[in-house]
Amino acid sequence: MRYARILGTGGYLPDTVLTNADLAARVDTTDEWIVSRTGIRERHLIAPEQATSDLALEASRRAIASAGIEASELDMIIVATTTPDMIFPGTAVILQEKLGLPGIPAFDVQAVCAGFMFAFATANAYIRAGMARKVLVVGAEAMTRLLDWSDRRTCVLFGDGAGAVVLGASDEAGVLATRLHSDGRYKDILKVPAHPEQGALIGNAYVHMDGQAVFKFAVKALSELAVQTLAEAGKAKEDLDWLVPHQANLRIIESTAKHLHMSMDKVVVTLPGQANTSAASVPLALDTAIRDGRIQRGQLLLLEGIGGGFAWGSALVQY
Ligand code: ACO
């Protein structure tokens, strides 16, 4: 049996940190409100001269080093992003150039905060099918560039960063199951309603969100997704060592864990210092917990992402 295994991971957060107190100086909010409603304490901000591909490059270099491979061994690059360097070419192609790997297929996946799960499942499918051996899968975002800094309902929620994983073909168990879902009926509860036309951006290029609708949808979808993914691989909740969920809101994560009767001791939480980094959040959380020794080789992990569309996806992984 040919599996895709996680060979290495990497993460990168830009240097500039914006605390809740910094935000309270800009809009009518407080550290207490933000912490109690979201769990977020601070977030990292991309530098003016940086692009999403620069964040992706740092995370990718770290993932390649941790996989113990040469970049030249990669045969595919997939980047999940909602905040590409430009409309085209894809950020994956720009990353490919920065890594010096001309010729291998490189493409973007756009499924907002679920993007990394869509990219990861795609890479897994290529490896399982024997069409790729080593794939670099990246989630990289500059979400703060989509924020209206006068809108306290949204500007407190997001941060920037990138996470990357190298998946490689192996006879040893790795990715056991993946699931992907989308439902366009919910497209209006979370969106950036703008499009390019004749050299201008038409519409409003800021995040718009119905927070309570998003909250309800996310808890239900993530809980059901966990049960379905475990069942698909013939595993029980008790078999799970770690849940690595999308880091949007601590209350969403806690409610999901409660629905699953899981102790928060088995849930990776990186949100307080990073806020919601959209497609970067799952690989960043994964990388953090691997590097700090929480996640160990041989353990069973459930990765889950969810975001605008709505789109949601998971991967059950024998690490
Ligand atoms: N500071 C102070 N007050 C605020 C702030 C803020 N930053 N934001 C909103 N408020 C106010 C509102 O204006 C409102 O005041 P009003 O009653 O005078 O009108 C009051 O707080 C309550 O607003 P609600 O929107 O009802 O607050 P709620 O308890 O629902 O919390 C929140 C809002 C945190 C956004 C919550 O709905 C939530 O967590 N939703 C999930 C959204 C999310 O995580 N999105 C991330 C992107 S989606 C994803 O990645 C899955």
Question: pLDDT of 159-178, one tens digit each?
Answer: 999 999 999 999 999 999 99
Q: Is residue 98 pLDDT above 90, yes or no?
A: yes
Looking at the chain, the domain(s) classified CATH 3.40.47.10 span 3-171, 176-318
Tell me what the mean pLDDT of segment 133-155 comes to: 97
Residue 59, ligand 1, Cβ within 6 A: no
Tell me what the mean pLDDT of segment 22-29 comes to: 97
Q: Is residue 1 pLDDT above 90, yes or no?
A: no
Ligand 1 atom closest to the Cα of residue 112 is 50
Tell me what the mean pLDDT of segment 78-82 comes to: 98
- Position 92 confidence tier, pLDDT thresholds 50, 70, 90: very high
Active site residue 113: yes
Ligand 1 atom closest to the Cα of residue 190 is 48
CA 153 to ligand 1 center in whole angstroms = 5
Cis omega (within 30 of 0) for bond into 89: yes
CA 212 to ligand 1 center in whole angstroms = 7
- What ipTM was predicted for this assembly? 0.94
Q: What does the block give as tokens for 191?
A: 């969106």
Task: Single out the catalytic residue among 44, 124, 155, 246.
Answer: 246
**Per-residue model confidence (pLDDT) at position 2:** 94
Q: Is residue 115 pLDDT above 90, yes or no?
A: yes
Residue 23, ligand 1, Cβ within 6 A: no
**Per-residue model confidence (pLDDT) at position 67:** 98
CATH of domain 176-318: 3.40.47.10
**pLDDT above 90: percentage of residues in the chain:** 99
Residue 33, ligand 1, Cβ within 6 A: yes
Task: Single out the catalytic residue among 20, 124, 249, 276.
Answer: 276
**Per-residue model confidence (pLDDT) at position 298:** 97
Residue 305, ligand 1, Cβ within 6 A: no
Active site residue 249: no
Tell me what the mean pLDDT of segment 59-73 comes to: 98
pTM assigned to the model: 0.97
**Per-residue model confidence (pLDDT) at position 20:** 98
How many of the other CB atoms lie within 10 Å of CB of 262?
A: 18
Active site residue 246: yes
**Per-residue model confidence (pLDDT) at position 159:** 98
Task: Single out the catalytic residue among 113, 124, 155, 249.
Answer: 113
Protein residue closest via CA to atom 38 of ligand 1: 211
Q: Is residue 144 pLDDT above 90, yes or no?
A: yes
pLDDT digit string (tens) for 214-243?
A: 999 999 999 999 999 999 999 999 999 999
Tell me what the mean pLDDT of segment 8-33 comes to: 98
Q: What is the mean pLDDT of the chain?
A: 97
Superfamily of structural domain 3-171: Thiolase/Chalcone synthase (3.40.47.10)
pLDDT digit string (tens) for 244-295?
A: 999 999 999 999 999 989 999 999 999 999 999 999 999 999 999 999 999 9
